[in-house]
Structure 1
Amino acid sequence: MLRINYYISGHGYGHATRSAQLVSALLSASPTTLVTIITTAPSHLFPSSPRVSFIAQEVDSAIIQPQPYTIDAPASFAKLKTFLASTETPEWRAKTADILDQTQCDLVLADAPYPVAWTSAREKGIKSVLVSNFSFDSIFEQLLTYLPAESRGAEKEMVQKIEKLYATYDYIVRLPGYIPFPFADKYWTVEERARRLIDAPLVFRPPRTSRSNVLKLLGIPEEFHEHRVLLVQFGGQIVDATGESTVPQLPDGWICLSSTPVEDPRFFTFPKDVYSPDLVAASNVVLGKIGYGTVSECVGMNKALIYVIRPMFAEEPGLLRYMEENGVCGEISVADYESGNLPFSTVRVLNEYPTAKTYKGLLAPSLVGAGSIEKASKAHGQKEHVDVAEESPRVAQMIGALVVQE
């Protein structure tokens, strides 16, 4: 019997949803595996099973985002300072040690907190594995550049502290779309990195139902079922800098799925708790951010992605590189996004996209303005298609091998 404690960042849903896919694979791999999930993320995101239990516990410090594409660096460091101080108290150490004892933990998995919630695991001989495409030391390291140079001393010390904490992991299972892990480069030798860093294949959440079922469940009239679908994952109705609401401009033959009501007969609302991979599978184009969940699902289901670059998010370059190498994508500016304008400029991105690697699924021409839909559709339709598998079962096997590795 393997008893896993899975510590998952509560920052956003991305860590939780990809971890949920891996939890399902771990349960399927062995009928005796038990998983305790320690997180502040909602439990409904995870598999419902008698072999899965939950402990509501903060495992890291949140990144403060006043908008979907900006970070408040001073506030994020202030929160990190408070959180790290709380983890040094006897109460915290006793509570986290009790969790390990009560669950009879054999293995720690984490996505992607620095190890402060299981500090006694190493003393007990429990292996720990980071499963992620990035670590938060890289996130905070970049946020240092958004602080005044003369006032970075204390913040640099915090970054160095979490680097040292990360270095105590036994292994990294590195997900696609990764960026460098500063702690591994700094504290692990070349030989250690070769042994302790394992590259994983793509993990993404597959759809559970068909496109036609999704459209029916959303109450979309049948006359729209042959239309192409834009899925807005930023939250539907957009509020610009003046506080005015705008919506994406749709060309003929398109409908839009959004999370908030829009007074347009071609816009349809989906519920907040919807299983979002079903929406991705039902769409042709996703308008969203460069996050692991969005990128992995777009690549895995062969959907085009129109995105807004978020310079403050250090993990984006790795994911964007992966999306460009394995999918179809185009950038719009924040100004165009806030105005609802999907401009012609993204046609160039699609037309210059290499055709060697694409994935089987519905054709996904990018929505790049009413006059350029057909051009983008033609560019995408010329590509060869090969299958891509959802590989969480193989990642579960890789993790199982680490448990018995000497």
Structure 2
Amino acid sequence: MTVSLRPHIAYFVTPHGYGHAARAVAVMEALLRHRRDVHFEIFTRVPAWFFSSCPPDAYDYHGVWTDVGLVQRTALSEDIPATVERLAQFMPFEDDLVSGLAARLRETACRLVLCDIAPLGIAVARAAGIPSVLVENFTWDHIYAGYIEDDRRLRWYVDYLADLFADADHRIQAGPACQYHPGWLTTAPISRASRTSAELVREQLGVPRRAPMVLVTMGGFSWDYGFLDALAARPDVFFVVPGGRDRPSGAVDRPPNVICLPHHSTFFHPDLVNSSDVVISKVGYSTVAEVYWAGCALGYVPRPRFRESDVLVEFVAREMSGLPVSAVEFDTADWLNRLDDLLAMPRRVHAGPNGAEQAAEFVASLLTG
């Protein structure tokens, strides 16, 4: 059968937000440019629509819980007790779960298992006798270790997950990574590439070509943007807010310079970033990577308790144009007082290949090696 001759790759993706799925899509699309015959078996609970930028004949979607991650109260705060409760329900992995998924990988003739910080994929790969590749800028044992003082029960999961992640056959560290290790492939930031010109995106949004445009986003997490009316204070600037139509407070009339989009809109997020002069967002890997390659300024909201945050903040300060915005400033729109400083920052153009291409070249070599 023709389909059986195509190299199949399983991709286990954590459902923690959309950033890891965005990174997985970037790697998948880059690999398809190297090997158009590759077929992916995607295992995750990230909504299936998120992967629709990939050719429909290039993947099958399996709605499987692959990871716990962190339970979030909001995009900026974690619920550690709830996280521990979910970990207790999910780990250690049940033998039936692992063996059943391993059988599915054998049935689909998978030759490789990629895991974007979803440890279940590594366990399944080992049970199926298939090589595994861990793609990460952090692992959950490192993140959970930062919360042990909040809940001592996390110590067991730190040790359990450290052993699981160490069991990966190969490792790709997506820069900027939290813990660099010699001997592992380290890439430039990995992000999906924009695909529509800024001029056309602005035209579709109704933003004048030369008007300043600011993207306000909390990534894959919902947020009640209670400050939208305050943006009328800057009628010279157009503000684009994905998820602005999903606010719990309901949809009401907005100032004409505020463009609210549904959380799942027809606009490709990297296109919105590339079309913006400034992005205001929590500091998360996917947003940082997209802004890095777009070159625009970033007003970033740190997450002091989340260990990834300090690494990303330091990277932005060193390699990008940007300014910190506190959680209070974000909620009250006081960041508007610093908007002119952000708008005045030059775009920083970065040379070299996107990390997705570097990761894809490595994975392609495993398929032919």
Corresponding residue number in structure 2 for 1:84: 91
Unaligned runs of 5+ in 1: 182-192, 345-367
Q: Matches of 1:275 and 1:304 in 2, distance apart?
A: 19
Corresponding residue number in structure 2 for 1:331: 324
Q: Matches of 1:23 and 1:384 in 2, distance apart?
A: 27
Q: Matches of 2:68 and 2:133 in 1, distance apart?
A: 19
Corresponding residue number in structure 2 for 1:393: 357
Q: Matches of 2:213 and 2:223 in 1, distance apart?
A: 14
Change (3 A) 1:50 1:384: closer
2:234 paired with 1:270: no
Q: Matches of 1:271 and 1:213 in 2, distance apart?
A: 19
Corresponding residue number in structure 2 for 1:292: 285
Q: Matches of 1:176 and 1:228 in 2, distance apart?
A: 30
What CA deviation, in whole Å up to 9, does each residue of 1:191-233 have, x standing for no partner? xx544x111123212222122322232244xxx4421011110
Corresponding residue number in structure 2 for 1:54: 61
2:239 paired with 1:256: yes
CA positional deviation for 1:165: 1.0
Corresponding residue number in structure 1 for 2:50: 45
Contact 2:292 2:350 in 1 (8 A): no
Contact 2:13 2:20 in 1 (8 A): yes
Write out the 4+ residue segments of structure 1 that deviate beyond 3 Å after TM superposition: 244-252, 375-378, 383-389, 402-405
Structure 2 letter corresponding to 1:175: A
Q: Matches of 1:384 and 1:158 in 2, distance apart?
A: 40
**Equivalent residues in 2 for 1:164-243, closer than 5 Å:** 164-180=163-179, 194-195=182-183, 197-220=184-207, 224-234=208-218, 238-239=225-226
TM-score, length-scaled by structure 2: 0.86
Aligned partner (choices 294, 312, 315) of residue 305 of structure 2: 312
Contact 1:299 1:327 in 2 (8 A): yes
Structure 1 letter corresponding to 2:133: V
Query: Quick check: which has more Rg, 1 or 2?
Result: 1
What CA deviation, in whole Å up to 9, does each residue of 1:120-155 have, x standing for no partner? 5335542111111111111111122333xxxx1x32
Q: Matches of 1:206 and 1:50 in 2, distance apart?
A: 20
CA positional deviation for 1:117: 4.1
Corresponding residue number in structure 2 for 1:19: 24
CA positional deviation for 1:250: 4.6
Aligned partner (choices 132, 136, 146) of residue 150 of structure 2: 146
Change (3 A) 1:123 1:96: closer
Change (3 A) 1:210 1:258: same
Q: CA RMSD in A?
A: 2.4
CA positional deviation for 1:249: 6.7
Contact 1:100 1:118 in 2 (8 A): no
Contact 2:122 2:164 in 1 (8 A): no
Structure 2 letter corresponding to 1:228: P
Q: Matches of 2:311 and 2:30 in 1, distance apart?
A: 25
Contact 1:29 1:396 in 2 (8 A): yes
Contact 1:332 1:343 in 2 (8 A): no
CA positional deviation for 1:96: 1.6
Contact 2:14 2:118 in 1 (8 A): yes
Q: Matches of 1:167 and 1:118 in 2, distance apart?
A: 9
Q: Matches of 1:331 and 1:400 in 2, distance apart?
A: 39
Contact 1:238 1:340 in 2 (8 A): no
Corresponding residue number in structure 2 for 1:130: 134
Aligned partner (choices 84, 100, 104) of residue 109 of structure 2: 104
CA positional deviation for 1:51: 2.6
Change (3 A) 1:279 1:385: closer
TM-score, length-scaled by structure 1: 0.79
CA positional deviation for 1:339: 1.0
Q: Matches of 1:265 and 1:98 in 2, distance apart?
A: 55
What CA deviation, in whole Å up to 9, does each residue of 1:51-85 have, x standing for no partner? 31111111111411111110011111111111115
Change (3 A) 1:194 1:376: closer
2:17 paired with 1:30: no
Q: Matches of 1:103 and 1:214 in 2, distance apart?
A: 39
Corresponding residue number in structure 1 for 2:248: none
Corresponding residue number in structure 1 for 2:3: none
Change (3 A) 1:263 1:122: closer
Corresponding residue number in structure 2 for 1:357: none
Contact 1:284 1:304 in 2 (8 A): yes
What CA deviation, in whole Å up to 9, does each residue of 1:137-178 have, x standing for no partner? 11111122333xxxx1x3211211111111111121000111
